[in-house]
Structure 1
Amino acid sequence: MQIRLITPEATLPIRHRVLWPSKSIEFCQVKEDDSGLHFGAFENDVLLCVASVFITGTEARLRKFATLHEHQGRGIGTQMIEHIIEYLKQQGVTYFWCDARESAQEFYARFNMQTQGERFYKSGEPYFKMSIELES
């Protein structure tokens, strides 16, 4: 598997298919996409997983992280988050956070991300903010 930077447009089919299949593809875009970093995990040059990161100062936010359903459970997402965390440390980022779907809390907890605050909803889906302090 290879993880590399990709264009915002390359993330859209997987974001749409995995995260919001009942919504329009435009719903899967983030207005800040052009200023973010977009990572793609490839196997045999086939894109299987995407993640977008938005850095502000020493803080980074993960958004629109998705692995194709048929490839989940193979460690691809784990490798992606590990890659992103290492990348962020190299960039001097000290705080990494995301709005995690409630169903994904255990996944993020594996990276020592802690739940912050109360459950909230986006388009009917329950979420929690999760974060971790990064050390260089």
Structure 2
Amino acid sequence: MVKEISATETFSVRQPVLRAGKPIESCHFDGDQLDSTKHFGYFENGNLIGIASMFAIPNTAFDSANQFQLRGMAVLPNHQKKGIGEQLVAYAENDAKKRNADLIWFNAREIAVGFYQKLGYEIFGKPFEIADIGPHYIMFKRF
């Protein structure tokens, strides 16, 4: 089951998946607390096992008027490859569409590119490095 959650609730999944070995403070993203930002959690038997956040942040590389950035997408390792990530992305996409999005973009880790391509996202530009995390690609989907 997917439902809206608070930014702080995302930390229990953000830390082990996206910020492993780093302090809990590193799980806070700029814009987490904005009214326009929404956080979604996937629950199984009452336990939060997957998360995604949607930020109303445009990327100047795109000319779309109403853009959203998907960020902090993560599923706990022992629950990956079960379709949970796909459900979270679909839920986030539906939320963005309700808010009249015409484009969703994000910085995808190199290892996640294939996952997002299966969901209809395209690579934009060349790979780039995010310090202490690794190679990333900008990916997007138009609506």
User: What is the distance in 2 between the residues matched to 1:17 and 1:63?
Assistant: 16
Aligned residues: 133
User: What is the distance in 2 between the residues matched to 1:93 and 1:31?
Assistant: 21
User: What is the distance in 2 between the residues matched to 1:53 and 1:86?
Assistant: 11
The Cα shift of 1:123 comes to 2.1
SS of residue in 2 equivalent to 1:33: coil
The more displaced of 25-34 and 94-103 is 25-34
1:87 to 89, 92, 95: 95
Give the AA of the match of 2:56. Answer: I
Partner of 2:5: 6
User: What is the distance in 2 between the residues matched to 1:22 and 1:5?
Assistant: 27
Give the AA of the match of 1:54. Answer: F
User: What is the distance in 2 between the residues matched to 1:26 and 1:71?
Assistant: 24
Give the AA of the match of 2:142. Answer: E
Contact 2:53 2:92 in 1 (8 A): no
User: What is the distance in 1 between the residues matched to 2:107 and 2:10?
Assistant: 18
Partner of 1:72: 80
The normalised TM-score by structure 1 is 0.93
> 1:48-127 alignment to 2 at 5 Å?
48-56=49-57, 58-124=66-132, 125-127=134-136
Partner of 2:14: 15
The normalised TM-score by structure 2 is 0.89
The Cα shift of 1:87 comes to 1.9
Structure 2: runs of 5 or more not aligned:
58-64
SS of residue in 2 equivalent to 1:23: coil
The Cα shift of 1:44 comes to 1.4
User: What is the distance in 1 between the residues matched to 2:101 and 2:41?
Assistant: 20
Give the AA of the match of 1:129. Answer: I
> Stretches of 4+ moved more than 4 A in 1?
none
Structure 1: runs of 5 or more not aligned:
none
The Cα shift of 1:22 comes to 1.7
The Cα shift of 1:99 comes to 0.2
User: What is the distance in 2 between the residues matched to 1:42 and 1:58?
Assistant: 29
- Answering whether residue 31 of structure 2 is matched by residue 32 of structure 1, we say yes
